[in-house]
Amino acid sequence: MMTTPFYVLSPCPVLAVPSGFTSSGVPSGVQIVGRTYDDIAVFRVEAAIDRGRPWPTVARPCSGSHRARGLLYRAAMSTTYPFSRADREIQERARAFVDEQLIPWEQHAEEHAGQIPEDVREKHHAAAIDLGFYAMNLPEDLGGTGYTTLQQVLVSEQIGRVTNALGWCVHTPAGWAPEVMTHEQIERWLKPAIRGERRECYAITEAGAGSDVDAITATARRDGDDYLLTGEKMHVTSYNTADHIFFQAKLAGGDHEGQHALFVVDKDIPGVRLVREPRYTHTYPDTHAIVAFDDVRVPASQLIGAEGDGMTFTYAWFRYERLMIAARCCGAAERLVEEATAFAEERVQFGRPIIDNQAIAHMLADSLTELWAARLMTYRVAENIDAGADVKIQHAQCSMVKLYASEMAGRVADRAVQIFGGRGYMRENVAERFYRELRVDRIWEGTSEIQRNIIADQLRKRGVRTLT
């Protein structure tokens, strides 16, 4: 026997008498640990479970909220992948954080333009640091937690289970930076970011340069001991929460004219100008701004690496982000399958649960199968990176897993909306929110079409066996 914590959400007009439980009143072993704003009570169930049993019978809902059953099942189960004990502990810690602290605020965020109360936001930020998830991609000697790539994937997968970017309280500063930043740059920008005191954003994309990064027209011109930075960037994600910017430009003049360079720029210096903050499909607190750089003067000490190195750092960032997008998509798909399955078991039409209809059951079966395939791909790519795989192979495999997982999650979300029916079109429903939010994962950090180009190019150069 082992004692395992379970977290259940159930409608509860009176805290002492939760509906949907087989016993009257609060079942033995159930402790109320909080309440969300929309009158959903959160219970903690301590249940002794036989190792061979999939879920407990204690406090199992017999009616009422489909979400209660879904969360009960989710807490009871774990993946069968052969993780180490340390990996499993990190995964479970991340899962508990998401279930206990983040998910209860989803609907509030949706109804308040992505915002939650400041004290709650600060609590989430502090918890992410205390739990070791903040700066998990950076080494311990700089103040990070030094997680392996697989461990970072496990955390990101759990973060993917929550909507409205509430999981962005788990922040990963520039993992590529320690090898190329100067001591001054590390002390001034990177270490404070690791401690959660500063935050960066990236100004790379332009109106005429999205997938084709080399088409950027922003320039950096040497002027004595300084550079003058000029250009207009768009989709600058998290501009409103950042205090410094990684700005990518082409060099104008000099021995490296036309080559790329990357600079770190404080947001509050003269010449950095917010043009506007367009509204996007998702309901996130972080904006995706259009930002102008009007002859922004920065000292040469703020050039990262050497002139001509800019694209090298961008590629490293893309590889990392593509893998973490895949992980988050797996987390989102897992929650969608759970929620849709639970609803289909409880939703009765024509005298029987809709899951008894083969059309519904097959949608769930397809979703589960695709989720498993994406999850295995994602874990394996992470392990390959930890094992020191060739960077070109990493590049191709990160593209493969981003392509497959993002498109998988989109299909799963579409099926989930269909299973929920009219409820799936309501913003209070998790399937509706994921349906909107997951769409961008086939676009940012390289569209699906660009991923296919990368994969095909590497296939021609390296062959099937090398990449698979």
Identify whether residues 294 and 209 lie together within a single domain. Answer: yes
Q: Is residue 91 part of a domain?
A: no
Q: Which pLDDT does position 11 carry in this prediction?
A: 37
Out of 276, 293, 308, pick the residue that ends a domain.
308
Is 185 part of a structural domain of the chain? no
State whether 146 and 12 are in the same domain: no
Using CA atoms of 34, 35, 40, 43 in order, give the dihedral in degrees to the nearest 10. Answer: 10
**Residues 291 and 348 placed together within one structural domain of the fold:** no
276 domain residue, yes or no: yes
Same domain, yes or no: 64 and 122: no
Instruction: Using alpha carbons, list the distances in angstroms from residue 78 to 73, 348, 351.
Output: 10, 28, 33
Last residue of one domain, picked from the residues 147, 180, 213? 180
383, part of any domain: yes
Residue found by looking up tokens 């192979």 in the block? 393
Of residues 257, 228, 262, the one with CA closest to residue 245: 262
Q: Could you please report the per-residue DSSP string of 263-309?
A: EEEETTSTTEEEEE----SS--SS-EEEEEEEEEEEEGGGEESSTT-
Below-50 pLDDT ranges, the chain: 1-77
460 & 434 share domain: yes
Distances (CA, A) of 287 to 35, 284, 303, 331: 29, 7, 26, 23
What pLDDT is stored for residue 50 in this prediction? 31
Co-location of 66 and 154 in the same domain? no
Task: Give dist(CA 99, CA 159) in Å, integer.
Answer: 10
Please give the structure tokens belonging to residue 223.
């002027």
Domain presence at residue 163: yes
User: How many structural domains are present in the chain?
Assistant: 4
Residue 425 CB: number of other CB atoms within 10 A? 12
- One domain for residues 250 and 374: no
Residue 191 lies in a domain: no
Residue 260: which CATH number?
2.40.110.10
Asked whether residue 275 falls in the same domain as residue 206, the answer is: yes
CATH number at residue 441: 1.20.140.10
Residues 318 and 461 in one domain: yes
Q: What is the pLDDT of residue 30?
A: 43
Position 7 scores a pLDDT of 40
Q: 437 and 318, same structural domain? A: yes
Range of the domain at 120: 98-180
Residue 368 lies in a domain: yes
Does 421 fall in a domain?
yes
Are 231 and 357 contained in the same domain? no
Identify the domain boundary among 135, 151, 180.
180
Q: Are residues 206 and 143 in the same domain?
A: no
